[in-house]
Structure 1
Amino acid sequence: MSVPSTELNEVLDQAVTAVTAGGELLQKRYSESSRPGDLDEIVRAIHANDDAVLALIKEPLLTARPGSHWVEDELASGLLPEGEWWVVDTAEGNINHIHGMSEWGVTATLVRDSVPLLTVVHLPLTGDTYTALQSGGAFLNAEPLHSSAKTDLRAALVGTGQAKPGEDEESLRHMGASVTAMLLKALVVRVSVPATMQLIQVASGRMDAFWQFSDVRSGLLPGALLVSEAGGSVTDTRGEPWSLGSSGFLACAPGLHTQTVKVLSDLG
């Protein structure tokens, strides 16, 4: 059963309010001079950010969509149970935030039967808010987004990155091989975290492709909806339809999809 667009628009408005409030709190906790000294300090700072924002935005988001559920583990992967779920990253790019870097924000995506219905990405340092509704377009501060029109991978700015710390060695070697392969084919390859910060660039047409050999939901769902609603192609790395059950992810300009899939598929 489809959800009426007017109903989703109301939920989106409430989600924007909640996510923006979370971003404002995260900005108050931000310092350009922050330099954690060891792993224990890093872990404490990450959890402190997550806990502070979670306490502020969880209830408003659940209230915005009565009957919805909350995904507790933001690093979890795979298909969700039936029904509607909020997949939220209370500090997307938390590692950047606690090191005084600028690429971080707050995201919330409402998912129904493992398909994203709406998403909000708020970047407090710039005041930018990216939104998308299923079949309703993608926007930056209410202005429509459009993916890149490029058709030649040799002119493309592409990117990838880790999904999370502690990934298995095989996945990391696969990622490294893909970077090498793209360095030989694309104009420039960017490797950074988090995924959402690159995916909003793909949706905006500033970057041309992003791929990842991972299925961490919170890092992929916002960008997947933004890119697809901006006219981009979203598949797995072999060009097949992407879902939360896929083992690889690719979002790119439609004119580059075939070329990009070939490079990634040739990795084996």
Structure 2
Amino acid sequence: MMDESSRGFLLGAMERAARAAAAIQLPEFRKRDPGWGDAKDSSDFVSFVDLESEKAIRRILDAALPSAAFFGEETERSLGAGATWVVDPLDGTTNYLSGYDHFAVSIALWEEGCPVLGLVLKPVDGELFTASRGGGAFRNGERLHTATFLEPRGALVGTGTPYRSPGTEDAFFGTTRRVLGACRDIRRTGSAALDLSHLASGFLQGFWEVDLQPYDVAAGLLMLSETGHGYRNFAGDAYDPFRHRTFVAGRPGVFEVLREAVLAEYGPLE
């Protein structure tokens, strides 16, 4: 178990790293016409801002914990036998490149297959989420409450569209119909790191998506665990972001309804 001194030191380094990335991102935000950036493939984009942000983050994290491996979106994806930094320097790149202000920096420290520290920063307004295993989750320094039961009719549910998941479109829209029939409404914001942070905070009450990447959710998963939210893959297995394609989460009362909806439409897709 990490002692309090080590936890504070590493969380401090994580915050410095995230703010260093934000200092690169904000001066370039909304300075160009929408649609700039380079295509990594048919559905993902990258810019020099992503690359420079990850470099800045890595310099600070490597200095804080030289023995840790590094699993980042843009530069290196190495899982070590011990501690591993899992980093998305700019989650919501498409939003960023379009001038939509919903994007984040996500940093997590994983050990033995589990997140032990997590941090998500929204650069535009400075909203900061942190969590440590067994130490709770916080938003702007205030402890987040444990999730309580909610009737599904009151739930606002987040999701992500299947832009990189060909063949799942019918299941996605079928699930959307089911969720709209059972819950209050659906939101698709374009940053899973922020969506999971907002779920942990109580601003969303459920979430599902297919083909998330480990760096999208590595920090947010710890926030969900520390606030009593359930999460699984669609087959009902304990979710592993390095192995599974599918993800569903929610607070008690909502989680069960979402699990039924995704299973009915997607089947037991892992």
Number of the residue aligned with 2:97: 98
In 2: Cα distance, 1:182 partner to 1:171 partner: 16
Structure 1 residue ranges (4+ consecutive) displaced by more than 4 angstroms after TM superposition: 37-45, 74-77
Match of 2:25 in 1: 26
Instruction: Output the amino acid matched with 1:206.
Output: F
1:48 aligns with 2:43: no
Q: CA deviation at 1:138?
A: 0.6
Q: Flag the 1:62–1:174 CA change in 2: closer, same or farther, 3 A.
A: farther
Unaligned runs of 5+ residues in structure 1 are none
Answer yes or no: is the 8 Å Cα contact 1:105–1:124 preserved in 2. Answer: yes
Q: Does the CA contact (< 8 Å) of 2:87 and 2:215 recur in 1?
A: yes
Equivalent residue of 1:263, what SS?
A: helix
Which residue in the other structure is 1:248 paired with?
A: 246
C-alpha distance in structure 2 between counterparts of 1:100 and 1:41, whole Å: 19
- The SS at the match of 1:109 is strand
Match of 2:187 in 1: 190
Any gaps of 5 or more consecutive residues in structure 2?
A: none
**Cα deviation, residue 249, structure 1:** 1.3
Instruction: Tell me, in whole angstroms, the C-alpha distance in 2 between the residues paired with 1:157 and 1:213.
Output: 19
Q: CA deviation at 1:140?
A: 0.9
Look up the match of 2:135. Answer: 136
Moved more, 44-53 or 258-267: 44-53
The offset of 1:129, in angstroms, is: 1.0
- Measured on the aligned residues, the alpha-carbon RMSD in Å equals 2.9
Matched, 1:65 2:65: yes
Q: How many residues align?
A: 264
Superposed displacement of residue 26, structure 1 = 0.8
Q: TM-score, normalised on structure 1? A: 0.87
1:85 and 2:89 correspond: no
Q: Call closer, same or farther: CA 1:75–1:69 in 2, change over 3 Å.
A: closer
Deviations 1:14-45 (CA, angstroms, capped at 9, x unpaired): 11111112112211111176422697699998
Change (3 A) 1:39 1:27: closer
AA aligned to 2:126 is G
Aligned to 2:3: 4
Q: Which residue of 2 aligns with 1:155?
A: 154
Q: Is the 8 A contact 1:62 1:68 kept in 2?
A: yes
Q: Structure 1 residues 74 and 220, CA, compared in 2 at 3 Å: closer, same or farther?
A: farther
Task: State the secondary structure of the residue aligned to 1:151.
Answer: coil
**Quick one: which of 263, 266, 270 aligns to 1:265?**
263
2: CA distance, partners of 1:32 / 1:38: 12
- In structure 1, give the amino acid aligned to 2:119: V
Matched residue, 1:200: 197
Classify 1:29/1:126 alpha carbon distance in 2 versus 1 (closer, same or farther; 3 Å): same
* 1:178 alignment counterpart: 175
Q: Quick one: distance in 1 between partners of 2:146 and 2:229? A: 5
Code of the residue aligned with 1:114 in structure 2: it is: G
CA distance in 1, matches of 2:258, 2:57: 38
- Distance 1:161-1:239 versus aligned 2 partners, 3 A rule: same
Is 1:232 the counterpart of 2:204 in the alignment?
no
Distance 1:192 1:264 in 2: 20
What amino acid is aligned across from residue 56 of structure 1 in structure 2? Answer: A
AA paired with 1:158?
Answer: V
Q: 1:76 to 1:64 in 2, by over 3 A?
A: closer
SS of the counterpart of 2:253? helix
Residues 1:75 and 1:54: Cα distance change in structure 2 (over 3 Å): closer
Which whole-Å deviations, capped at 9, do the CAs of 1:107-128 have from their partners, x for residues lacking one?
A: 1111112211111111111111
| 1:192 CA drift (Å) | 3.1
Q: Which residue type is aligned with residue 62 of structure 1?
A: D
Equivalent-residue separation in structure 2 for 1:188 and 1:246 (angstroms): 26
Q: TM-score, normalised by structure 2?
A: 0.87
CA distance in 1 between counterparts of 2:80 and 2:126 reads: 34
Identity over the aligned pairs, expressed in percent? 23
